[in-house]
């Protein structure tokens, strides 16, 4: 089976960009506060490493106080290494560079806002903020595409301000299918009422032989 | 930003700055940029003064104490990740002169969940309350059936929210709703 691709895309809509009402702003703020990454994963990794290292070294230090070294760490070997290695040794320089890079990475994680894992929707009620996660947006788009006649399978990915849908079709003549899919997906997403309406892109793979 | 998120960022920043400073100091010494301040690049990493220090028994006592404090702080940092502002009891009467009436939060959120799950458009609902007990924020997650129209699912969710707010006599209680799509 050879395949060809055809694509259709909506124009980005300039509407809704200017008239940000106060309610809309409140919804955006609430959703951002609620769904902004809390940096839980890096925090737990760093905390676990620090805790594990501190405990092991502390136990080793205490066991040495009582003259019964447990040997959890190769203290003598590390001591010899420290006495033999100069500051300008490649090993020291490498360790220093690794520490600098790690430090910069942690600072970037601490200081950049990070992703908001949900997109705000128009809300009919004041005080009520509704949001949808990118994964659910993708599922909704793929389901809408698969409901179109002549579509075998669809996959969607929600990116920055757009939703891309890839469609597989068993049809030999898939002319116009891309536009049908694009319309079906746009209608489905319109119903959600996303505050930032995404551009919908469709690409179709179909049989050629 | 909530307390845990702020704490995580402060913690990551502190560790990041310490690593960065240590790395830069070691690199400056290795490249002999400021030999007058940091010492010569040809010197071993562990020098005699440090060796003498390590031969003192109190050095290991101090080291162990400092490390135990750091370990406790790090474990506490992990512990607060599970912290939540969940409200377990709702205060219905805030006038303390007539006494206080409260109910379990589960009773209110359970009724809302049942209301939502009775809809043909919605498959599953999970509600929780957070914030203060007199004006709690509702956190709601609803999963719609894959065949349902999103507009209908959202409309049904808003109707259930209206009924909940009326029943609770909190007409404009704040709520955050996450709409999920079933497989």
Whichever domain contains A147, its CATH number is: 3.30.70.1350
Q: What's the pLDDT score for residue B98? A: 66
Q: Under an 8 A CB cutoff, do B45 and A86 touch?
A: yes
**Where a domain ends, among A54, A89, A111?**
A111
In a domain, A136, yes or no: yes
Summarize pLDDT for B17-45 with one digit per residue, the tens.
999 999 999 999 998 888 777 888 888 88
- Last-in-domain residue among A86, A111, A136: A111
Q: Count of domains in chain A?
A: 2
- pLDDT higher than 70, residue A91: yes
A27 and A61 in a single domain? The answer is: no
Mean pLDDT of chain A: 87
Q: Is residue A116 domain-resident?
A: no
Residue A26 sits in the same domain as residue A45: no
Three-state secondary structure readout of A38-97 = CCHHHHHHHHHHHHHHHHHHHHHHHHHHCCCCCCCCCHHHHHHHHHHCECCCHHHHHHHH
Q: Are residues A157 and A203 in the same domain?
A: yes
Q: How far is B97 from chain A (nearest CA, A)?
A: 30
Let me know how long chain B is.
183
Looking at the structure, tell me whether residues A197 and A133 fall in a common domain.
Answer: yes
**Domain of A195, in residue numbers:** 3-36+121-207
| Structure confidence at residue B93 (pLDDT) | 63
Query: Domain boundary residue among A111, A145, A160?
Result: A111
Distances (CA, A) of B165 to A145, A153, B162, B170: 37, 42, 5, 5
Q: Are A57 and A82 in a shared domain? A: yes
B8 and A38 in contact (C-beta within 8 Å)?
yes
* Whether A150 and A188 share a structural domain: yes
Task: Please write the tens of the pLDDT for every residue from A155-186.
Answer: 999 887 889 999 988 888 777 888 889 999 99
**Whole-angstrom Cα distance, residue A163 to residue B53?**
63
Q: What is the pTM of this model?
A: 0.78
Domains and CATH numbers, chain B: 3-82 (no CATH), 89-181 (3.30.300.30)
More confident residue, B26 or A5: B26
Query: Based on the domain organization, do A126 and A203 belong to the same domain?
Result: yes
A149 and A198 co-located in one domain: yes
Residues 6+ apart with CB under 8 A from A116: A31, A32, A35, A36, A37
A82 contact residues in B (CB cutoff 8 A): 44-46
Same domain, A146 and A194: yes
B-chain residues near A87 (CB < 8 A): 26, 29-30, 39-45
pLDDT band for position A17 (cuts 50, 70, 90): very low
* In the predicted structure, residue A97 carries a pLDDT above the cut 50: yes
Instruction: Tell me the pLDDT tens digit for each residue of A34-50.
Output: 889 999 999 999 999 99
Query: Is residue A80 pLDDT above 70, yes or no?
Result: yes
Answer yes or no: is pLDDT of A110 > 90: yes
CB-nearest to A88 from B23, B41, B60 is B41
| Contacting residues for B69 by C-beta, under 8 A, at least 6 apart | none
Chains A, B: CB pairs < 8 Å? 230
Q: What is the CA radius of gyration of chain B?
A: 29
pLDDT at res. A112: 94
Q: What ipTM was estimated for this complex?
A: 0.80
Verify whether the Cβ–Cβ distance B9 to A34 is below 8 Å: no
- Same domain as A134, residue A76: no
Q: Indicate if the pLDDT at residue A13 is higher than 70.
A: no
Task: Chain A: give the shortest CA distance to residue B95, in Å.
Answer: 24
pLDDT tens digits, B101-160: 778 888 888 999 999 999 999 999 999 988 777 778 899 999 999 888 899 999 999 999
């Amino acid at each position: 089976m050879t395949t060809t691709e055809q694509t259709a895309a909506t124009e980005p809509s300039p509407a809704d960009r200017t008239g940000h009402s106060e309610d809309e702003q409140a919804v955006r703020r609430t959703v951002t506060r609620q769904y902004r990454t809390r940096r839980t994963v890096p925090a737990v990794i760093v905390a676990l490493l620090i805790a594990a290292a501190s405990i092991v070294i502390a136990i080793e230090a205490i066991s040495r106080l009582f003259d019964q070294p447990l040997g959890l760490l190769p203290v003598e070997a590390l001591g010899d290494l420290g006495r033999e290695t100069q500051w300008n040794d490649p090993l020291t320089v490498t360790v220093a560079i690794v520490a600098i890079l790690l430090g910069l990475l942690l600072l970037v994680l601490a200081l950049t806002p990070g992703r908001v894992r949900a997109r705000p929707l128009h809300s009919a009620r004041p005080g009520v903020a509704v949001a949808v996660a990118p994964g659910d947006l993708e599922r909704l788009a793929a389901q809408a595409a698969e409901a179109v006649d002549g579509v075998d399978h669809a996959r969607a990915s929600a990116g920055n301000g757009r939703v891309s849908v890839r469609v597989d079709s068993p049809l030999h003549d898939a002319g116009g299918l891309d536009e049908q899919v694009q319309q079906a997906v746009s209608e489905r997403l319109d119903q959600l009422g996303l505050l930032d309406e995404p551009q919908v892109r469709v690409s179709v793979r179909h049989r050629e032989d | 930003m909530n307390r845990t998120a702020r704490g995580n960022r402060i913690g990551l920043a502190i560790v990041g700055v310490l690593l960065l400073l240590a790395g830069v100091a070691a690199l400056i010494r290795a490249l002999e940029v400021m030999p007058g301040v940091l010492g010569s690049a040809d010197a071993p990493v562990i020098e005699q003064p440090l060796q003498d220090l390590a031969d003192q028994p109190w050095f290991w006592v101090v080291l162990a104490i400092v490390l135990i404090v750091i370990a406790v702080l790090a474990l506490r940092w992990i512990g607060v990740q599970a912290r939540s502002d969940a409200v377990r009891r709702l205060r219905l009467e805030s006038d303390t002169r007539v006494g206080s009436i409260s109910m379990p939060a589960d009773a209110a959120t359970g009724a809302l969940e049942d209301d939502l799950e009775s809809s043909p458009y919605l498959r599953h609902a999970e509600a929780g309350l957070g914030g203060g007990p007199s004006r709690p924020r509702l956190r709601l997650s609803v999963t719609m059936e894959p065949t349902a129209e999103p507009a209908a699912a959202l409309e049904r969710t808003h109707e259930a929210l209206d009924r909940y707010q009326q029943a609770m006599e909190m007409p404009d209680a704040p709520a955050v709703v996450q709409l999920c799509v079933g497989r």
